[in-house]
A and B are shown apart, each in its own frame.
Chain A
Amino acid sequence: MSQPPAPNSSAAGKTTKVALFYLALILATLLWFTPVITLVLTALKDAGDFAVNGAFSLPKFIRWANFSEAWETGVKNYFWNSVIVTGFKVPIGIALESMAAFALTHMHFKWANRIFTYILIGLIVPVQMTLVPLTLLMNALNLIDTLTGLTILYIGFGVPFGVLVMRGFFRTLPTAIIEAARIDGCSWFRIFYRIALPLALPAVISLCILDGVATWNEFILAQIFLRSDELRTLPLGLVQFSTQFSTQYDQLAAAVLIAVVPVVIVFLFFQRYFVAGMGGAVK
């Protein structure tokens, strides 16, 4: 009966409706962001202020020293370790994964489906299922407590998701382009490197970002395979920091904020690639 809306419904009524809609969304946003707001407020305030007024109040004055103190107390190390691991893992991983995905989609490879299934198993296996043998293996190779060892593990565990995303993209690449290059006598490696990969740039960027964030955030492998404090990556270092300085909420909050800022920046600038990447993963 009421469909479509009566054309004469007053403009004022409609405006109110729109205003209420936005008001509801903004309230929901504030509620959703409460944890983040709490974090920022705590990071900016002095410990005494926090103890008296709690987390959710505007700081009496802004204490930037929280950040420099947290940085010097160890976050500096954690931060650079995370940068190193992520910086090596992501490009190497993507190089390997896109080559594999290319072979699975365009090289008339009759084992393609079986190999893809074999690789997909890695997406579902709980990491706990690998920890003990990996500990033995890393011990034997003298890679326990090294960033190199951790990076190698990250590359291995990244293969399934990377192949999935890149394969999703390469499948949309017209075969005609590849065939044409073949007829022109182009080698497979050149086709991959000069034609397929440049065309896959959006997928590569998506994967860079999703993979970069995932590596930056990884916890359990770092927890098991890094032992000394100066090698810890950020998530691990922060949890350690929180148990060691459990009462210094101001510094801990500042430390968490330092860890989160790079992710937020990447997120703000490359949002659409998150969507594109996840889309590629279920295609």
Chain B
Amino acid sequence: MASEKTASLAPRTAKDAKKSDDSLRLLPWLFLAPSLAIYSVVVVYPMIYSAWLSLFRWDGVAPIKIFVGLDNYGILLTQNDVFWIALRNNAIWLVAALLLPTSIGLGLAILLNSRFRGSHIFRSVFYFPSVLSLAVVGLIWTWIYHPDLGLLNQALTASGLQSLTRNWLSDPNIALYPVIIAATWNAVGLPMLLFLAGLQTIPEELHEAAKVEGAGPVRRFLYVTFPLLRETTLIVLAITAINALKAYDIIYAMTNGGPANSTQLLSTWMYFLTYNYNQVGLGTAIAVVLFLLTLIFAIPYIRFMTRKT
């Protein structure tokens, strides 16, 4: 069976392939073994085990785990207020991530796609924050938001807008938004790069043709560029959403979930419950919820990535 398939795939080598057929069947596994082994042990097995652990009440240390079925999920939904705060914050974060870095990235990509002197320098400029770690980004922006010494309040005061100055990261009503701005600064680079790559696949002649037909820049964007960027846009949105749900370091560096848990995300609240409060069952249940949310965006993405083979 297998030998016939191989033969039909590569008729020229059929004769030679026959003798090494058995090794041919095993050899790919040999090439894959190291990667698959370490990946399965480090990523896949823990994932499945986490889902299983979310069905137990356990403090992480005691020898006995108590099976409680879906109770942990029930507790989260009905008794854990911070879970709802975190869920709401994740939703806000997700919407912001789908709107801000993507549209800024698209705008920059269109601007910098045209070849003018120095365009590649400006590409580097706007990509630069993306190479910094989110912990570093968080630290830098924490100083910008510092109530007295921070640049933001100083700039507001200097321009006569003193009434707008805030204790940005200490006010539970607004603290999430400054963090989102800092995260956006870091997140613009990737959509910009992907859109630039997408724009480069659009033949110049199409634009020329539209120009000749009398289409202005806005119409050219709407009817030529944007439809041809559809595929890129879908990838960008999926990757941005998946990354947004992974946000963790920047919260940890800037607010540590505070003040009064107002900036907790599911990812940070999972850490708190598991490692600070020893509620392993609840913590893993949150991880599962986070994973399910990710799947909404990931399934179309994975379908797309595996489709073209």
List residues of A whose CB falls within 8 A of some B CB.
Answer: 2-4, 21-22, 25, 29, 32-36, 38-39, 42, 50-51, 54-56, 96-97, 99-100, 102-104, 107-113, 115-135, 137, 152-153, 155-157, 159-160, 163-164, 179, 182-183, 185, 188, 192, 213, 216-220, 223-224, 234-236, 238-239, 242, 249, 252-253, 256, 259-260, 263-264, 266-268, 271, 274-275, 278-279, 282
For B43, the chain A residues whose CB sits under 8 A away are 121-122, 125, 130, 156-157, 159-160
Are B290 and A99 in contact (CB-based, < 8 A)? Answer: no
Query: Which B residues, 170 to 215, have Cβ-Cβ distances below 8 Å to chain A?
Result: 185, 190, 193-194, 196-197, 211, 214-215
Separation of A59 and B32 alpha carbons in the complex (Å): 55
Which of B150, B246, B253 has a CB less than 8 Å from the CB of A55?
Answer: B150
CA distance A278 to B195 in the complex (A): 11
B164 at the A interface (CB under 8 A) = no
Residues of chain A with a CB closer than 8 A to B12's CB: 179, 183
> Which residues from B are CB-within-8-Å of A235?
133-136, 249
A191 to chain B, nearest CB (A): 11
Tell me the bound Cα distance from A102 to B29 in angstroms: 11
On whether A129 and B28 interact (CB within 8 A), knowing A238-B139, A256-B140, the answer reads no
A263 / chain B contacts, CB cutoff of 8 Å = 131-132
Contact across chains for B193 and A119 when beta carbons are under 8 A apart? no
User: Pick the contact of B151 from A2, A56, A100, A183 — CB < 8 Å?
Assistant: A56
In whole angstroms, how far apart are the Cα atoms of A185 and B116 in the complex? 51
A192, B31: Cβ atoms under 8 Å?
yes
Shortest Cβ distance from B129 into chain A, in angstroms? 8
Please state if A35 and B46 are interface contacts (CB–CB under 8 Å): no
Q: Is A274 in contact with B127, judged by CB distance below 8 angstroms?
A: yes
Closest to A221 in B: B42
Q: Does B55 contact A (CB under 8 A)?
A: no
Docked-complex contact A217 and B132, CB < 8 angstroms: yes
Q: Are A159 and B46 in contact (CB under 8 A)?
A: no
Q: How far is the CA of A99 from the CA of B143 in the complex (A)?
A: 45
> Is B10 an interface residue when CB atoms closer than 8 A count as contact?
yes
| Contact A126 B290, CB 8 Å, known A156-B42, A179-B10, A278-B190 | yes
A sample of 15 inter-chain contacts (CB < 8 A) reads A54-B149, A99-B31, A129-B46, A132-B60, A132-B287, A152-B38, A155-B42, A156-B39, A159-B43, A217-B134, A224-B275, A235-B249, A253-B143, A259-B133, A267-B128
Contact A107 B28 (CB under 8 A): yes
Instruction: Give the complex CA separation of A156 and B128 in angstroms.
Output: 27
Distance in angstroms from A202 CB to nearest chain B CB is 15
User: Quick check: is B267 within 8 A (CB to CB) of the other chain?
Assistant: yes
Specify which of B28, B151, B297 lies most central, judged by the most chain A CB atoms within 10 Å of its CB.
B28
Question: How many angstroms between the C-alpha atoms of A248 and B160 in the bound complex?
Answer: 29
Contact check, A38 vs B2: say whether CB atoms are below 8 A apart.
no
Min Cβ gap B51→A in Å is 8
- Contact partner, A125, options B49, B196, B266, B294, Cβ 8 Å: B294
Nearest CB of chain B from residue A119's CB, rounded to whole Å: 7
Tell me whether B47 is interfacial, beta carbon within 8 Å: yes
Cβ-defined contact, B32 with A103, below 8 A = yes
- Contacts A275-B196, A278-B197 hold; do A130 and B47 have CB atoms under 8 A apart? yes
Residue among B35, B45, B142, B297 making CB contact with A97, cutoff 8 Å: B35
Q: A55-B143, A188-B31, A249-B143 are in contact. List 18 more A-B contacts (CB 8 A).
A: A3-B214, A3-B216, A39-B143, A54-B149, A96-B38, A103-B27, A108-B24, A126-B294, A129-B290, A130-B47, A132-B60, A179-B13, A183-B12, A219-B252, A239-B252, A256-B140, A271-B127, A275-B196
B84 on interface, CB distance cutoff 8 Å: no
Interface of chain B residues 232 through 249 with chain A (CB within 8 A) = 232, 235, 242, 245-246, 248-249
B2 shortest CB reach to chain A, Å: 7
Residue contact B28 to A109, C-beta cutoff 8 Å: yes
Given A127-B246, A132-B284, A275-B196, A117–B271 Cβ distance below 8 Å?
no
Which residues of A are found within 8 Å of B309, using beta-carbon distances? 112-113, 116
